[in-house]
């Protein structure tokens, strides 16, 4: 997984995200740890691969997400993955446009759950913010969309249910309520540590290079 961390760091640096507009939510310590969770996102069977380009029409439906946790390590670490609580989100740092991102981060999707399979089919996850697909204007430059997996750190109100803890804390579902989401502040309030990520670019269906 160390190679994956290096690939992530290189792709984010090349895109001007870290360092850049996403460094507040993807800290240097995330790469230094060297054991990220592989966040596998796909729209209609097409995989998100650290910055590849999609059209908005391809992303109207909620994507499939699979998590691949680092193998090996201490037995205690593996047991921790099974019992840990997670928050997964999709956000846009380029809203409404990459040149004038005054509404960053736009909150497209937030899901919470427990255990490493919390995003799997039939899992008892909680939709904190319902999925809303990307909607960049045709005249806009490509937007960058981040898929972030956070793990709740030990000692953070473990007796409290995920849905109770997060209810209403991410903000409303209405279109304008999703803008200017403080990802770093949200993570800090709930004791969340970044455990994995992926990202893509997306353009309007009528966009031309």
The arithmetic mean of pLDDT across residues 19-40, rounded, is: 93
CA 122 to CA 206: how far, in whole Å? 36
Asked whether the predicted pLDDT for residue 160 surpasses 70, the reply is no
pLDDT value at 131 more than 80: yes
Residue of 145, 133, 131 whose CA lies nearest to 101:
145
Asked if residue 128 is part of any domain, the answer here is yes
Share of the chain above pLDDT 70, in %: 84
In a domain, 169, yes or no: yes
- Residue at 152 is within a domain: yes
Q: Residue 209: inside a domain, yes or no?
A: no
Q: Which of 203, 147, 135 is nearest to 11 (CA)?
A: 147
CA-nearest of 76, 104, 77 to 92 is: 104
Q: Domain of 135? A: 2-203
pLDDT interval class at 127 (50, 70, 90): confident
Given a cut of 60, whether residue 20 has pLDDT beyond it is yes
Q: Which pair of tokens denotes residue 109?
A: 């999707």
Write phi, then psi, for 59 (nearest 5 degrees).
-120, 20
162 pLDDT more than 60: no
More confident call, 55 vs 159: 55
pLDDT, mean of residues 58-83: 77
CA 63 to chain centre: 12
Do the Cβ atoms of 151 and 187 come closer than 8 Å? no
* 208 domain-assigned: no
CATH of the domain at 151: 3.90.280.10
CA distance 111 to 3: 27
Q: Residue 18 contacts by C-beta under 8 Å, 6 or more apart in sequence?
A: 9, 12, 26
For all residues of the chain together, what is the average pLDDT? 88
Count of structural domains within the chain = 1
User: What pLDDT sits at residue 41?
Assistant: 97
Query: 124, 113 in Cβ contact below 8 A?
Result: yes
Judge whether residue 133 has pLDDT over 70: yes
The pLDDT of residue 163 is 57
Q: Is residue 158's pLDDT more than 50?
A: no
Half-sphere exposure of residue 185, counting CA atoms within 13 Å on the CB side?
Answer: 7
Residue 51 has pLDDT above 70, yes or no: yes
CA distance 198 to 123: 21
Whether 83 shows a pLDDT value over 90: the answer reads: no
State pTM to two decimals: 0.91
Top pLDDT among 36 and 162 is at: 36
């Amino acid at each position: 997984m160390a190679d994956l961390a290096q690939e992530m760091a290189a792709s984010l640096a090349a895109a001007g995200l870290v360092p850049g507009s996403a460094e507040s939510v993807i800290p240097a310590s995330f790469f230094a740890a060297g054991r990220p969770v592989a966040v596998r996102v796909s729209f209609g069977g097409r995989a998100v691969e650290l910055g590849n380009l999609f059209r908005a029409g391809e992303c109207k439906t909620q994507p499939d997400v699979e998590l691949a946790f680092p193998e090996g390590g201490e037995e205690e670490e593996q047991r921790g993955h099974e019992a840990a609580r997670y928050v997964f989100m999709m956000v846009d740092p380029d809203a409404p446009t990459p040149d004038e991102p005054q509404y960053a981060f736009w909150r497209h999707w937030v899901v919470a759950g427990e255990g490493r399979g919390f995003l799997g089919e039939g899992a008892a996850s909680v939709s904190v913010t319902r999925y809303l697909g990307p909607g960049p204007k045709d005249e806009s430059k490509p937007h960058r969309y981040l898929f972030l997996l956070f793990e709740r750190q030990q000692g953070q109100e473990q007796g409290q249910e995920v849905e109770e803890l997060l209810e209403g804390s991410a903000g409303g579902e209405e279109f304008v309520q999703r803008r200017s989401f403080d990802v770093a502040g949200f993570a800090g309030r709930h004791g969340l540590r970044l455990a994995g990520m992926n990202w893509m670019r997306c353009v309007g269906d009528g966009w031309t290079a």
